[in-house]
Amino acid sequence: MGKPLACGVPVAAFGISQYVSDKVMKRILDDGTDESGLGGTLTGNALAVAAMRASLEKVITQKAFDQMMPLAVRFEKGINDAIDDFEVPWNVTRLGVRIEYHFMPKPPRNGAEADAAKDSGLEKLMHLMALNRGILLTPFHNMALISPYTTTKDVDHHTSVFRECVESLVE
C-alpha cells in the first residue's frame, strides 16, 4: 500500500486498529533502541515523505477521482469491446483506475494462474505495437493507470491502438 501512496516511490504505510496502535506505541515508547519492527531507515526519508504528501494532496483526492474514474471505465470498455469484437480469449480487469488485460478467457484468481497465462512473445508484441504508436504500457505486464492528467483523447487513442493490434493478430 505504501508505493501507490507515494506515486511509485517505495515508502512504508500500514493500517491497524486503535487497539493494535496502542500496543505498538507502548512498545515504541518503552524501547530506547528505536526498533519497533514497523519500518526501516528508508521508509520515511525526505523524498518518500515528499512524494507521499504530493500524492495525498494532488492525486488521491475526490476531485481527481471524479475525473479519473469515468476515464478508467471508458478505457476498460474499449478493451472489452475489442476483445468481444475480435473474439480473442482474453479478459480485462479494472480496480479503480488500474486496468489490466490478460491473455486468458477469465480473470486470474491468484498469482499462479496469472503467471501460467503469461505469453511473453505476445506481451512483447503488444507492447512494441503500442510503443510504436505512442503508448507506453507498464513494462512487466499489460497494465495502465489513469492519472489526473489522462484525457479522453488519451483513452480513445489507446482504444484505437489496442483494436489495431488485436485486429492485426487475428488476421
Axis-axis angle for helices 120-131, 152-170 (nearest 10): 130
With cut-offs at 50, 70 and 90, classify the pLDDT of residue 95.
Answer: very high
- 48 close to 6: Cβ distance less than 8 angstroms: yes
The CA radius of gyration of the chain, in Å to the nearest whole number, is 20
Mean pLDDT across 80-105? 95
Top-level class of domain 62-170: alpha beta
Stated pTM of the model: 0.74
Provide the mean pLDDT of the chain.
85
Condensed to tens digits (0 to 9), the pLDDT of residues 19-67 reads 988 887 787 777 655 555 555 555 667 787 788 888 888 888 999 999 9
- 108 close to 114: Cβ distance less than 8 angstroms: yes
Domain locations in the chain? Answer: 2-59, 62-170
Strand residues in the chain grouped as ranges (E): 91-95, 98-102, 143-145
Check residue 14 and give its pLDDT. Answer: 65
